[in-house]
Amino acid sequence: MTFLKEYVIVSGASGFIGKHLLEALKKSGISVVAITRDVIKNNSNALANVRWCSWDNIELLF
């Protein structure tokens, strides 16, 4: 049986709470998809393993 990799989706990832939540999830080893309005502005090297998506491209996730 093959299982799909599970992700946690964080909306509002560029906000104060969202950024801290992303850091905590990554430290826990959880795969994260971050949704924000401006992917280029918020794609931090510190969170390089986070998959960033904009609200405009949200349909590409599913």
**Residue 2 falls inside a structural domain:** no
How many helices (H) and strands (E) would you count in the chain? 2, 3
**Residue 1 falls inside a structural domain:** no
Domain that holds residue 37: 8-61
pLDDT in the model for residue 7: 84
**Residue 23 falls inside a structural domain:** yes
pLDDT tens over the chain, length 62 residues:
565 678 889 988 888 999 899 999 988 888 888 888 776 666 555 566 788 888 776 655 55
The edge-to-edge listing of strands for the beta sheet with 8-11 is: 8-11, 32-36, 51-54
State how many domains the chain has.
1
pLDDT in the model for residue 24: 92
CA distance 8 to 30: 7
Tell me the residue length of the chain. 62
Nearest to 42 by CA among 62, 15, 21, 61: 15
pLDDT in the model for residue 58: 60
